[in-house]
Homo-oligomer: A and B are copies of this chain.
């Protein structure tokens, strides 16, 4: 690991980059312990606070975890899909909010990705996935459900669909796409009529997947996408009204 620092500013950034590269390259193995902050400070010839700032940068990316105590220190994290998903969701949320992405664009991406999962889901769905999907559909039909609960169940349904594809990398991507859209979805007011329509489509979709009927699953998903976009139309109107203010 290089310990020379370019004198041109921001030591903590350079140190963070150096360590990050060592981790990515596998030079520092997973669950391996980094030298103590004092040691690192001595190696890089900087002060401990500077080293700490570098370590916090890495911690923010879930690359390391720290532990206090005698046998403590900074350890290389095995980046779990769960952690990565969390990260993906916050990034996706920020992208959507700060770049003012249209509802249409986000929904289009989300359904395109989901469509990509269908062939695999039709092949690999297990009874467990189907049970989850059916349970969520049942939940969506219960009375007195708030719009937010309805959306949450919707997310759970689609998450089960994606999981059915049995590819963790796909699931990871989808988690970001679906969950980041939830704030936008929550802005939709679901009438009893639209809920019934969505539930019908969900049922068709899950049964098509259960039967392994890819073509029908695709058709149904397309219908669901179209209907969601229709419902989302009002969000666009609201946003424009908001901007006009």
Contacts and interface: CB of A to CB of B under 8 A. Distances in A.
Interface of A: 12, 16, 20, 23-24, 26, 30, 49, 52-54, 56-61, 63, 78-81, 84, 87-88, 90-91, 93-99, 101, 105-106, 108-110, 112-113, 115-117, 119-120, 165, 167-170, 172-173, 176-177
A137 B205 CA distance: 39
A2 B181 CA distance: 26
B120 A116 contact: no
Contacts of A93: 24
A165 B112 CA distance: 11
A79 B99 contact: yes
Given A84-B95, A91-B88, A167 B112 contact: yes
Given A60-B60, A169-B177, A170-B109, A91 B87 contact: yes
Contacts of A170: 108-109, 112-113
Contacts of A120: 108, 112
Contacts of A88: 88, 91
Nearest 10 pairs between A and B by C-beta?
A: A109-B169, A116-B116, A57-B60, A60-B60, A112-B116, A109-B170, A53-B56, A79-B94, A56-B56, A49-B49
Identical copies of this chain, number? 2
Contacts of A115: 116
Contacts of A52: 49, 53
A110 to B, nearest CB: 8
A78 B99 contact: yes
A173 B167 CA distance: 15
Contact of A56 (B12, B63, B80): B12
Given A61-B60, A87-B91, A113-B116, A81 B99 contact: yes
A202 to B, nearest CB: 20
Contact of A101 (B16, B53, B169): B169
Given A56-B56, A56-B57, A95 B26 contact: no
Contact of A84 (B26, B60, B91): B91
Contact of A169 (B23, B90, B105, B117): B105
